[in-house]
Chains A and B, each alone.
Chain A
């Protein structure tokens, strides 16, 4: 059940990430390498796809658990928030809202971004709770297993 939800949330976040990158490409503002010669936040953010693919393979093999995904989605939420929101934002909401000729499309792009960050944040909290549960279960099982081994 939890595994299925975790996969679902990961695919949802990856889809929203891809949609946001496509939005950047269409607007053609705040883009970097490989579309321009500049290496910027856009370029760095592309690293998320190899991380997701590697993470999915490792998760399937049982090498990483919810803690890994909590870090990836939580880190993603912080990174995207810093780039887009707040006083140090390099691409504030106005750039998206006014990035298209049609204001409706600008609002759709902005809504997509807000949904994306929200999904990352909620996913990170869900995975943190799963990680904590597993951590507690392991702690509960360890002494019990030790007690069974005693004469």
Chain B
């Protein structure tokens, strides 16, 4: 902590400090985001290829069969993202650290309370997403959950390890990295925030991608983008509301994503 660092969850207080908080910019910040999208596509193709090569599934069903493992290989996507972030930090050298990308410090109880606030503020997004799901798929289980078919060890990995990796990588790549980078280039925070939300939502079109009727399932891809948009908008707004502190958002997202992974593993969805 430097002398210029504001104390826990408080006086960031004036405009100058808020601007200073945003001045930690990761050079090359689009790279982790591009890596994520590339890995979503690349890893699924590799898994599909392995399935075809081993004769486990016919070629026509390989992509959807590979997608059944998405809650597991999401960990590879997050590890790759984290690796690129750390590489960029080391390349940039002094004045930047992984902790610095998470924003000003906050006490543990403030992070916990903030996380509860994030979960409460996410309720409207949950309602919206539920209605969107009903409009697209009625009462049927979502394809991305219905197709998950992995052994117990993989479910345990998906519940205990992947959500942690996701929080260490995904919000840091978008809110800690890309957003300040875009703010510096565009000069307008609201425009940068809107761009981040759109790009972040677009990533979900590939996580995973499915096939239907011999082609890519564009309806599912569209559904994924629309249904996550409100979540991402809320979390981005809260990033500003909390004075650019990422930790409360990361904790709340971990509860949310970990809970979803657990529900999928226990066949509760």
Residues of A that sit less than 8 Å from B by CB: 1-2, 77, 81, 84-85, 93, 97, 110-111, 113-115, 117-118, 121-123, 125-126, 128-129, 132-133, 136-137
Contact = CB atoms under 8 A, between A and B. Distances in A.
Contact of A118 (B9, B125, B242): B125
Contact of B9 (A115, A123, A129, A137): A129
A85 B241 contact: no
A118 B234 contact: yes
Interface stretch (B13-21, B154-162, B260-268): B13-21
Given A85-B123, A117-B124, 6 more contacts: A117-B123, A121-B123, A125-B114, A125-B117, A125-B238, A133-B11
B41 interface: no
A137 B11 contact: yes
Interface residue SS majority, chain A: helix
Main SS class of interface, B: helix
Interface string B114-126: 1001001101110
Closest 3 CB pairs of A and B: A1-B15, A121-B121, A126-B241
B9 A114 contact: no
Contacts of A136: 10-11
Contacts of B123: 81, 85, 117, 121
A136 B8 CA distance: 11
A68 B166 CA distance: 37
Interface of B: 9-15, 18, 114, 117, 120-121, 123-125, 127-128, 131, 230, 233-234, 237-238, 240-243
A115 B114 CA distance: 20
Contacts of B10: 132-133, 136-137
15 contacts: A1-B15, A85-B124, A85-B127, A97-B131, A114-B127, A114-B128, A118-B125, A118-B234, A118-B237, A122-B237, A125-B241, A132-B9, A133-B10, A133-B11, A133-B12
Contacts of A137: 10-11, 13
A18 to B, nearest CB: 18
Given A81-B123, A85-B124, A118 B230 contact: yes
A132 B107 CA distance: 13
B13 A133 contact: yes
Contacts of A115: 124
A81 B117 CA distance: 15
A128 B118 CA distance: 13
A81 B124 CA distance: 8
A122 B121 contact: yes
Contacts of B237: 118, 122
A103 to B, nearest CB: 9
A114 B230 contact: yes
Contacts of B230: 114, 118
B11 to A, nearest CB: 6
